[in-house]
Amino acid sequence: MTIRPILIHPDPRLKKVADPVTAVDDALRTLAADMLETMYDAPGIGLAAPQVGVMQRIITMDCVKEEGEDPRPMVLINPRVTWASEETSSYEEGCLSIPEQYADVERPAEVEVTWMDLDGATQSERFGGLWATCVQHEIDHLDGKLFIDYLGSMKRQMITRKMQKLKRERARA
């Protein structure tokens, strides 16, 4: 397994719509394992393939936070929201592609998601709490959308400038 570099905003790949996965093969299984390792290493609770430069519709998640609770690594291929609650909830989101920037984002409090697993089987589950926030954030990545796209343009521009500066500094280091 390999820790892959995470793209930092702004990057054109983070604005593109990712392609549906058409086959579960060894390359996809390797990508999924690498994404989980990259996510845990960051550390993060989710990761979408475009964040590691792969334009395919695959995400990983593990939102288990309690110490002593078993981890729940999840790999979702071609995930789709099939139902969203009218009730919304607000959560202070972060993003591994926008380090150290956080903002409140309002989203449906509960969602039902259908996806394909690594065995090619269709799965469906209703998510609530942090899992609901995270799965929506990750599916947004597959559609080229970042959490800062929910903010006002002034705040979005300020964060984008900070990220441009961070990328210049990292390039010089």
Q: By CB under 5 A, is residue 134 in contact with Zn ion? A: no
DSSP H or E segment with residue 112: strand 111-116
* Residue nearer to ligand K1U on the CB measure, 53 or 122: 53
Residue type, 166: L
- The entry of Zn ion, ligand K1U, none near residue 94 (CB within 5 to 8 angstroms by kind) is ligand K1U
Token readout for 47 is: 């990761």
138 is a catalytic site residue: yes
- The entry of Zn ion, ligand K1U, none near residue 10 (CB within 5 to 8 angstroms by kind) is none
> Is the omega angle on the peptide bond into residue 108 within 30 degrees of 0, that is, cis?
no
* Residue nearer to ligand K1U on the CB measure, 6 or 116: 6
- The entry of ligand K1U, Zn ion, none near residue 44 (CB within 5 to 8 angstroms by kind) is ligand K1U
What residue ranges bind ligand K1U (CB under 6 A)? 43-48, 91, 93-97, 133-134, 137-138, 141
DSSP H or E segment with residue 124: strand 122-127
* Residue nearer to Zn ion on the CB measure, 24 or 108: 108
Q: Which residues contact 112 (CB under 8 A, 6 or more apart)?
A: 81, 82, 83, 84, 124, 125, 126, 127
Q: Interface with Zn ion by CB under 5 A: which residues? A: 95
